[in-house]
Amino acid sequence: MEIDFNVPAHIVGIDLGTTNSLVAFMDLTGPRIVPGADGDKLVPSVVSVQPDGEIVVGNPARELLLTQPERTVYSVKRLMGRGLQDVQDELKLYPFHIAPGSESVIHLQLGDRTYTPPEISACVLRQLKQNAEKYFGAEVPKAVITVPAYFNDAQRQATKDAGRIAGLEVLRLVNEPTAASLAYGLDKRKNGIVAVYDLGGGTFDISILKLQDGIFEVLATNGDTHLGGDDIDNLLLRIALEDVAGEWGQDLSTDNEGVQRLRRAVIHAKERLSFVPATNIELEYRGKKYQREIRRELFDKLITPIVDRTLGPCRRCIQDAGVSVDQIDEVVMVGGSTRIPLVLSAVENLFRVKPHTELNPDEVVALGAAVQAAILSGAVQDKLLLDVTPLSLGIETMGGVVSKLIHRNSTIPASATENFTTGVDGQRNVLIHVVQGERELVKDCRSLARFDLKDIDPMPAGMARIEVRFLIDANGILNVTARDQRTGKEHSVDVKPSYGLTDEQVEKMIQESVEKAEQDFAERQVREARVEADTILTAVEKARRHDAYFELTDDERAAIDKAVNELLLVYHADNLDLILQKIEQLNQATQKLAETMMNTAVRGALKGTKI
């Protein structure tokens, strides 16, 4: 790879994962992960809101999951860009506290405030941004963020919103498997077909790419945005809960802390089983002990249905890519769940090649995102990603039937143009309902948004001619523009997203987070001023016992007393200016005292000095 670093840098790559998130950057040696303050490269995607409003992210939040589950949330990526009726299954398995008023946009209750999923994700992103800023000692305003390839428009938009709320300019959303292929540097082989199998914490993606002279052309992608290591955890957890109930005669499932501790124990056992043939699920809780041996044979048998669920999308992807299995030269494994031996062997059986596992499957997506960041900055010019849209885009026509405009697996950016007219004399607006999915009927597809073409000049039915352009950009996000064919003027389009935040709502959240940051800053300044006040007050108290104090006039001593009292009066007020002003007043009043003391000290010092 040729890297030119004579270009503005500090665009980071972020893997915003269901379970863990990472931030990476590119330097002359290649892409690298930025460690957090605790030295850990993985930042658990867990957020906790403390009673005083302080937001805790990552490993410390993961600990709070045990003791403060009601103000702590994990796996929020599962809710991104989704509606309440979409997540009913999730709600049975995850302790999400849905707040009232979540009909159009989900709100989670954390302590006494509610947060939308993009706001929670923004907390994780803000933490990663801070980690990078601390590491570089410079501001990090821009980022590339990865998303599952199979994410729909609303899920992508929600991720982009999260970036904006976190104060990041999201230069690009990149599909996780595609990013991973960049990290693997597979272009060393000049030409070939590569499959990327990405089984993460909550999502599964399969992408098939064609590599040619530095161009990474995605031929097809498929997946399941609700399939991952979490499903294995839930399965084991359910069994362990039953087991515990049998042994202890106690149902742990209603005990938040107990469930979280047991979840941790099964995850631990699951992870060990990738390396040893047998291990124990162990829990010590409130004086009771649970221990159960689990062997890999049983584990494999239990998770076979989950692993099998990944194979259907793989087969469809191969078919859509228009290649046969034996044309696939390499398979790359991505995501922590690909450490599981059964997953490895299932993939090897299907593709009939030994999969690549050289890179850490937890890090490879973030590393690839850093490479894409370097492509966007201009530092890397010999590589180019050509990605596809995972789902077909269509509009609702008569009788609730979908008319497809852009087919799935089309290279993005992709566009389609349609002409619309009015059906009734004098009609002033036309409503366009845009959906995503492969099915024939609107009710079986995913509603994206309703676009309202407004202010059409009144004229007889069928006379208006409005050309609407649907464009899926390089992020996989839909943009709609409309033009009046008669006047050639841009036509206004009013967008109502079906699931997700309007632009105004995002703006408001950005505003709030800026205000919050300003408030935090102001509070810190007040605290610092109080520390300064403490220092000077202590010094004055000490000086009162000094000879120099008795050399002052009565007026001078009265002025000091007055200044001290006035400073003490404002000390607890949250008024920075007032505190600083009174500190300054005390400084002035004690100036002569300080000088006299200084002179005495100098005289003393000189006396003691041996020349």
Name the residues annotated as catalytic.
Answer: 15, 77, 176, 198
Told to check if 474 binds another protein by CB under 8 A, we report: yes
Is the separation of the CB atoms in 151 and 139 below 8 Å? no
Please give the backbone phi and psi of residue 124, each rounded to the nearest 5 degrees, phi first: -65, -45
Q: How far is CA 195 from CA 129, 417, 440, in A?
A: 31, 33, 29
Q: Within 15-75, where are the H helices?
A: 59-67
CB of 330 to another protein, least distance (A): 20
Candidate residues 12, 123, 154, 375; the one interacting with another protein per rule CB under 8 A: 375
What's the token pair of residue 377?
């900055």
Task: Pick the closer one to another protein by CB: 477 or 580.
Answer: 477
Told to check if 484 binds another protein by CB under 8 A, we report: no
Please give the Cα distance from 80 to 434 (Å, whole number).
19
**Binding region for another protein (CB under 8 A) out of 91-99, 107-115, 382-390, 594-602:** 382-390
The DSSP result for 516-564, as a single string, is HHHHHHHHHHHHHHHHHHHHHHHHHHHHTTSHHHHTS-HHHHHHHHHHH
Candidate residues 107, 126, 160, 172; the one interacting with another protein per rule CB under 8 A: 172
Candidate residues 7, 138, 573, 602; the one interacting with another protein per rule CB under 8 A: 7
Please give the Cα distance from 202 to 75 (Å, whole number).
8
Smallest CA-to-CA distance from 135 within 62, 39, 58 is with 39
Q: How far is CA 124 from CA 16, 129, 169, 451, 497, in A?
A: 8, 9, 15, 32, 24
Candidate residues 244, 412, 442, 552; the one interacting with another protein per rule CB under 8 A: 412
Residue 165: CA atoms inside 13 Å, Cβ hemisphere, count?
Answer: 29
Task: Pick the closer one to another protein by CB: 419 or 588.
Answer: 419
Sign of CA dihedral 83, 84, 89, 95: positive
Candidate residues 3, 99, 215, 526; the one interacting with another protein per rule CB under 8 A: 215
Site string for another protein, 70-89 (x = CB under 8 A): --------------------
CB of 374 to another protein, least distance (A): 11
Told to check if 169 binds another protein by CB under 8 A, we report: no
Told to check if 413 binds another protein by CB under 8 A, we report: yes
Whether residue 117 has a cis bond before it, omega within 30° of 0: no
Told to check if 310 binds another protein by CB under 8 A, we report: no
Told to check if 322 binds another protein by CB under 8 A, we report: no
CB of 415 to another protein, least distance (A): 4
Candidate residues 193, 235, 471, 477; the one interacting with another protein per rule CB under 8 A: 471
**Binding region for another protein (CB under 8 A) out of 359-367, 369-377, 522-530, 533-541:** 369-377
Task: Pick the closer one to another protein by CB: 109 or 372.
Answer: 372
Helix (H, G, I), strand (E, B) or coil at 390: coil
Instruction: Find the angle CA(505)-CA(225)-CA(77) to the nearest 5 degrees.
Output: 40
Told to check if 386 binds another protein by CB under 8 A, we report: yes
Please give the Cα distance from 204 to 222 (Å, whole number).
9
Told to check if 171 binds another protein by CB under 8 A, we report: yes
Q: Within 149-255, where are the H helices?
A: 153-165, 176-183, 229-248
CB of 322 to another protein, least distance (A): 11
Told to check if 234 binds another protein by CB under 8 A, we report: no
CB of 213 to another protein, least distance (A): 7
CB of 419 to another protein, least distance (A): 13
Candidate residues 9, 342, 385, 506; the one interacting with another protein per rule CB under 8 A: 385
Please give the Cα distance from 332 to 354 (Å, whole number).
9
Told to check if 8 binds another protein by CB under 8 A, we report: yes
**Binding region for another protein (CB under 8 A) out of 95-103, 361-369, 381-389, 561-569:** 381-389
| Residues in contact with another protein by the rule CB under 8 A | 7-8, 171-172, 212-213, 215, 217, 375-378, 384-386, 410-415, 471, 473-474
